[in-house]
Amino acid sequence: MISKLDNKTLAVHLLRISFGINFLFHGIVRLPNLEGFVTGMQNTFQNTLLPSFLVTPLAYSIPFIELTIGILLLINKYTKHTLIGAFGLMNVLVIGSSFAQKWDLVGLQATYIGFLFLLFYFTEEKTVKTY
């Protein structure tokens, strides 16, 4: 089956799977210690302009969003919409990291955005060929 895929299609599948694993495990490892993750986020943003009434609900939702994005990328369902959601999440994270002045994280997140762009750009409009 793999031998029937052209290099571009195979590369898109491999990148989608890699990002799926990445997002999935970001969510999975945070869920058992969700309270710790939320507390860490609250502490990170306590001396910034971001109010806790925005930070706290977002911190609770991030692992579930990551988990959902990861699963959907791995099973290749709603890929276009999932990638748009991943862009949205990454932009929210860039905004938060900027408020916290964590420029190293902003750079890493920009790298994610660049690879998400490539994945989105090379994913076929209708569906990715699977043969």
- pTM assigned to the model: 0.90
Cβ contact 20:71 at 8 Å: yes
Q: Check pLDDT > 60 for residue 119.
A: yes
One-letter amino acid identity for 108? L
Query: How buried is residue 57: exposed, middle or buried, by Cβ count under 10 Å (0-12/13-18/19+)?
Result: exposed
Over residues 85-107, the pLDDT tens digits come to 999 999 999 999 999 999 999 99
Cβ contact 5:129 at 8 Å: yes
Tokens of 49: 């302009």
